[in-house]
Amino acid sequence: MRDLHFKTKTHQAWAGIVSTVDRGNFVFVHIRSSKTGKELNNYKLPADLAEQVEKIKSYSALVAYAKANQITDSASDAHRGSDSSSVPSCPAPALTPAKSSEQERGILFVEVDTVGRGKDTEIIEISVVDNTENVLFHSRVRPSKPYKDVPMGEPSFAEIWQGLSNAIGRADIAFYNADFTKRYILQSIAKAFDTPKPEHFYTLFPYNKVICVGERYKEFNNYRLGYFCNYGLQHINSACGQSGLFWKDVSNSPSGNAIKSARLWKYLDHKAVA
């Protein structure tokens, strides 16, 4: 494994193979402050994860992966009890490129519900729907702090992350409003794994094509109404209504909105062919 070096304005990280007489080889991740040089954290990972670690492309992804997959001492395991195994690992980026899933109509539609504002916004519900409107994944999510009328008995984002990432795999990912939803996912990852927010969405899904259904509809709608029109992103219900699509049979939940997004995408595909 080649050594990895990442540096941000506040932190820097090194990862490489370390050999010891008593414990053999392992991947060692060392974190220190960029400003003071002070050592902040060290993580030991199993040596068989070296190939996956080597594929990581950013500081934030390295830290998240190290925290989720570190080797703990038996004393630490005894102290943590069953809690240490209850949180799924944050997976490394996919090792091979995705197939051309768009041509196979394998696009997945992802929508979320959130709580909080600005940098404090986090996901409290998320759904993944395929092109035939089947719900492949759905979960409510416990926020990192209490909010009025938000249940706190749901699993955390860290606990649902493995199931979510497995459901998405390497398929193309479609959001109605991609910029917002990607940011909310990154913020939720940061809170769940106690790590700086990943700099880019492709840190987590580097080979997944990301599609913005709302932007595609906006371009189609402005072209349809005239070259000089410049309407912004419509609400998903308005976009479906303007397109003559039936949408009132599904709720305004993440699952319902993902289904609407799938219908709108198929409508735009039909118009493009026509």
Percent of the chain with pLDDT over 70: 81
Give the confidence band of 78 by pLDDT, cuts at 50, 70, 90.
Answer: very low
- The whole-number average pLDDT for the span 64-68 is 80
Top-ranked range on mean pLDDT: pick from 6-10, 25-29, 180-184, 199-203: 180-184
Q: Does pLDDT of 89 surpass 60?
A: no
* CATH 3.30.420.10 domain position(s) in the chain: 98-274
pLDDT at site 202: 76
- What b/e readout covers 95-116, taking b as 16+ CB neighbours within 10 angstroms? eeebeebbeeebbbbbbbbbbb
The CATH T-level fold of domain 98-274 is Nucleotidyltransferase; domain 5 (3.30.420)
pLDDT of residue 66: 82
Residue 225, pLDDT > 80, answer no
pLDDT at 231: 62
Tell me how far the alpha carbon of residue 190 is from its chain's centroid. 10
Residues in the chain: 274
Count of other CB atoms within 10 angstroms of residue 203 = 20
* pLDDT attached to residue 138: 95
Residue 224, pLDDT > 80, answer no
